[in-house]
Amino acid sequence: MRHFIFLIGSTDDFESLEDLKNTYFNGDTERNMSVFPVSLSEVCQVEGYSRLEEIATMIGRGEAMSSDWCLDGTLSCLLEA
């Protein structure tokens, strides 16, 4: 099993991806961001995706969009936990 964290934050609150990552690692929850954990089995396969990171990114984006985020005006990244 591999564990990932999908981070998304508003460009109004974060200057860069490094700023978003540092905020997550520092535990600062006051800024406009969300964290979505994604865990996948090593044998997980989805047609059209060759790596687990790609699948985890798409799941994380889907979770974010389902929580009223959009890609416009945001920064996002996937971290391996």
Which residue range is the domain that position 15 belongs to? Answer: 2-80
Please give the model's pTM, rounded to 2 decimal places: 0.93
Question: For the residues 35-42, what does the mean pLDDT come to?
Answer: 97
Q: What percent of the chain is modeled with pLDDT above 90?
A: 94
What is the number of structural domains in the chain?
1
Task: With CA atoms as reference, report the closest residue to 7 among 61, 70, 66, 72.
Answer: 61
CA 15 from chain centre, in angstroms, equals 17
Asked whether the predicted pLDDT for residue 28 surpasses 90, the reply is no
Q: What are the tens digits of pLDDT across the range 53-69? A: 999 999 999 999 999 99
What tokens were used for 22? 């540092």
Contact present, 80 and 4 (Cβ < 8 Å): yes
Count other C-beta atoms under 10 Å from residue 7's C-beta. 22
